[in-house]
Amino acid sequence: MKFNAHQIAEILNGEIQGNAAVEVKSLAKIEEGEKGDLSFLANPKYTPYIYTSKASIVIVDKSFTADKDINATLIKVEDAYASFSQILELYNQMKFNKVGLSKKADVATSSTIGDDVFIGAFTSISEGVILEKNVKIYPNCYIGENVTIKENTILFSGVKIYHDCIVGANNIIHSGVIIGSDGFGFAANRNTNYKKISQIGNVVIDNNVEIGANSTIDRATMGSTIIGNGVKLDNLIQVAHNVEIGEHTVIAAQTGIAGSSKIGKNCMIGGQVAISGHLRIADKVKIAGQSGIASSITEVGKIVQGPMAFNIKDFQRSYIIFKKLPEIYETLNKIKKELDS
């Protein structure tokens, strides 16, 4: 994929300073740019690199003024960072714009395949599956019976989606994700053995969701496990049965959410957070990494931290005292000895 400076300037509505015919075929950070690379300068602290970079084209703000000669062709735009992001998106669209069904894929005759769909080798598409237009499924994926995947969604290699689940439009699901496996449902009997409770629900994922590698989302016991519009899940996240995550909530890696808990909209949850089952988390709540949530958070916008999380300011004050405990203990011993004497 090659672009020249003139083509890039047209896409970004930018002004060219230098050779409009120079071509690029790859993207790079400005400090690592080589001939044939497209880079950008947005952060002023990286300005010295523009004079030493070997990148062929650099996107800069219109306000940028060079102090000395620059070898690269410049494309001046209103916002260099936003413009480079636009180029990255275009690059991704072109890179992943695969179409066609591999001869090594197993596609059931009763499935419905939309226009411009891609299905890679050794992928299995079961009976009754609906793939809407422009869905991209990479090799070694499994799509169970009666699954629906809506338009423009990408499944990278090794994704498994169990039967009856629904995946919305414009989603990105990374390698190793498993959607719709059984929830952790067992009933103890008199002998303290555990009998499996059948999980007959499904998973429903709304639009514009991204799910990181090796995350798991369990199907509901009954009803649906629901991931709302615009939710972003990092790698290695466990979402249990009947959980609901509100729209535009973001969750960092290694977080686990136990069954039937409901997470509000626009929440931010740090890494390695543990959320107990059957809880309610209000909208706009922020939970610091490695916190444990054992009770519902009903206050909108509350910020919490701690192994048994409580108000973040109280936690920070408590932690200051905790660090001083040896000193406090020594002082108390001195006072005790003085009193005893």
Catalytic positions are 241
Q: How far separated are the first and last CA of the chain, in Å rounded?
A: 86
Go through the chain and tell me how many residues it has. 341
The dihedral region occupied by 278, where left means phi > 0, alpha psi between -120 and 50, and beta the remainder, is left
Q: Residue 166's beta-bridge partner residues?
A: 148, 204
Q: How far is CA 172 from CA 67, 137, 176, 224, in A?
A: 43, 10, 12, 20
Q: In what order do the strands lie in the sheet with 142-143?
A: 106-107, 124-125, 142-143, 160-161, 178-181, 216-218, 238-239, 256-257, 274-275, 292-293
Element (H, E) at 16: strand 15-17
Contact 117, 99 (CB under 8 A): yes
Per the structure block, which two tokens stand in for 170? 């414009």
Pairing mode of beta strands 292-293, 303-305 = unpaired
Quick one: 100 exposed, middle or buried, by C-beta within 10 A (0-12, 13-18, 19+)?
Answer: exposed
Q: Which residues contact 255 (CB under 8 A, 6 or more apart)?
A: 234, 237, 238, 269, 270, 271, 272, 273, 274, 275
CB 89: neighbour CB atoms within 10 A? 10
In order, the DSSP letters of 187-215 are EE-TTS-EEEPP---EEEE-SS-EE-TT-
